[in-house]
């Protein structure tokens, strides 16, 4: 039989997949690639743990007796109040790493290599954000252990506590899409790191993460009470049972219904910034 008449073995013919199936498969492959990369560079994970642990120790023991929560200046009360804020800050600060990683892949031309493959366009970004979510979850586990060591406790049941951690991770995943958009919009990983942190500091500090919002000026208090970061912090405190007796709950809707507010904010951020990121990715690599 001539070369043109050769029969191609059935196993050599690629099997067609649907759009959603291919997107999920490709996203998981990219996520696996990034997780393997993280495992081969353990210092990235280690250094990512140092900052939140420092925040736990510094805020707990330096400011613990100086900040009144629910009318009490007991350092133990403040530690219970503080930890949800530290958890939320940790998952959101991972945004800078996500943006820097994507900017680095763009800078090295790796994104162009992905473009040459028959894969879903959004899978590159989805896989990256999923890998960052796994790393954030591991960081959160270690941070929770450190929190228990310094005196933090969960006062409600395990299902409620798991719900609190799930909301924190969902917020971190939502913010990772903001980091993805920043990483696609700058030219260097250094710029992505700086751009990913500049807006996070006012977002996290104009909130109820470290101090009660009731003593803030009116404008800042309003911003803090409608801040998506504050909603997740408040929801985590409620689910962990960390709201001290006598703590005044603000009258703003997100503070009255923090679990729903946290879910709505996170889903909205994912919907908006995933769309913008994929669109930016297509235009940047076109």
pLDDT in tens, 263-283: 999 999 999 999 999 888 877
Question: Distance between CA 14 and CA 226 in Å, rounded?
Answer: 50
**Token pair for residue 45?**
């994970």
Mean pLDDT of 169-186: 91
Is residue 12 situated within a structural domain?
A: no
Q: 96 Cβ partners below 8 Å, 6+ apart? A: 179, 192, 193, 196, 197, 200
pLDDT level of residue 164 (50, 70, 90 thresholds): very high
Mean pLDDT of 159-183: 93
> Mean pLDDT score of the chain, rounded to an integer?
82
Residue 286 predicted with pLDDT over 70:
no
Question: Would you tell me the crossing angle of helices 75-108 and 158-185 to the nearest 10 degrees?
Answer: 40
pLDDT level of residue 15 (50, 70, 90 thresholds): very low
Residue 4 predicted with pLDDT over 80:
no
DSSP letter (8 states) at residue 5: G
Picking from 133, 132, 154, the residue whose alpha carbon sits closest to that of residue 144 is 154
The phi-psi region of residue 250 (left if phi > 0; otherwise alpha if psi is between -120 and 50; otherwise beta) is beta
Picking from 95, 86, 75, the residue whose alpha carbon sits closest to that of residue 179 is 95
Number of folded domains in the chain?
1
**Token pair for residue 141?**
């586990």
Q: Which residue has the tokens 């709201």?
A: 243
pLDDT level of residue 212 (50, 70, 90 thresholds): confident
162 versus 194: which is more confidently predicted? 162
**Token pair for residue 97?**
């790493």
State the pLDDT at residue 19: 66
Looking at the chain, the whole-number percentage of residues with pLDDT higher than 90 is 29
State the pLDDT at residue 65: 65
Distances (CA, A) of 51 to 2, 90, 193: 67, 8, 15
Residue 225 predicted with pLDDT over 80:
yes
Is residue 48 situated within a structural domain?
A: yes
State the pLDDT at residue 74: 77
Question: Distance between CA 111 and CA 125 in Å, rounded?
Answer: 10
State the pLDDT at residue 96: 79
Is residue 10 situated within a structural domain?
A: no
Is residue 250 situated within a structural domain?
A: yes
Quick check: 31 and 25 in contact, CB under 8 A? no
Is residue 269 situated within a structural domain?
A: yes
Is residue 4 situated within a structural domain?
A: no
State the pLDDT at residue 142: 87
pLDDT level of residue 255 (50, 70, 90 thresholds): very high
Is residue 60 situated within a structural domain?
A: yes
Quick check: 167 and 240 in contact, CB under 8 A? no
121 versus 154: which is more confidently predicted? 154
Q: Say which range, 10-14, 196-200, 211-215, 229-233, has the weakest mean pLDDT.
A: 10-14
Q: Which residue has the tokens 């799930």?
A: 166
Distances (CA, A) of 143 to 31, 84, 146, 149, 193: 23, 11, 5, 10, 22
Mean pLDDT of 98-122: 74
Question: What angle is formed at CA 250 by the lines to CA 246 and CA 238, rounded to 5 degrees?
Answer: 65
Is residue 47 situated within a structural domain?
A: yes
Looking at the chain, the whole-number percentage of residues with pLDDT higher than 70 is 87
Residue-number span of the structural domain to which 262 is assigned: 18-284
Give the chain's radius of gyration (CA, Å): 22
DSSP letter (8 states) at residue 15: P
Mean pLDDT of 236-256: 88
pTM of the model: 0.85
Question: Distance between CA 55 and CA 158 in Å, rounded?
Answer: 25
Question: Distance between CA 184 and CA 45 in Å, rounded?
Answer: 23
Residue 16 predicted with pLDDT over 50:
no
């Amino acid at each position: 039989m001539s070369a043109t008449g050769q029969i191609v073995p059935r196993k050599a013919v690629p099997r067609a997949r649907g759009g959603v199936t291919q997107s999920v498969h490709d996203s998981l492959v990219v996520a696996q690639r990034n997780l393997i990369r993280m495992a081969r560079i353990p210092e990235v994970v280690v250094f990512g743990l140092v900052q939140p642990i420092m925040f736990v120790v510094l805020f707990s023991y330096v400011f613990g007796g100086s900040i009144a929560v629910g009318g009490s200046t007991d350092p133990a009360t403040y530690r219970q109040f503080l930890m949800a804020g530290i958890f939320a800050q940790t998952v959101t600060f991972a945004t800078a790493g996500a943006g820097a990683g994507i900017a680095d892949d763009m800078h090295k031309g790796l994104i162009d290599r992905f473009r040459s493959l028959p894969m879903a366009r959004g899978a590159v970004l989805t896989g990256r954000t999923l890998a960052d979510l796994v790393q954030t979850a591991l960081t959160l586990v270690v941070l929770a252990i450190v929190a228990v060591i310094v005196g933090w406790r969960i006062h409600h049941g395990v299902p409620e506590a798991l719900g609190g951690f799930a909301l924190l991770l969902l917020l971190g995943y939502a913010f990772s899409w903001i980091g993805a958009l920043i990483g696609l919009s700058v030219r260097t990983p250094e710029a992505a790191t700086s751009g990913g942190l500049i807006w996070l500091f006012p977002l996290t500090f104009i909130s109820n993460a470290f101090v009660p919002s009731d003593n803030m000026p009116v404008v800042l208090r309003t911003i803090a009470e409608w801040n998506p970061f504050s909603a997740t912090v408040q929801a985590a405190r409620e689910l962990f049972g960390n709201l001290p007796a006598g703590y005044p709950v603000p009258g703003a809707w997100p503070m009255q219904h923090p679990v729903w507010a946290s879910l709505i904010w996170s889903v909205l951020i994912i919907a908006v910034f995933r769309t913008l990121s994929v669109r930016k990715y297509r235009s940047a690599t076109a």
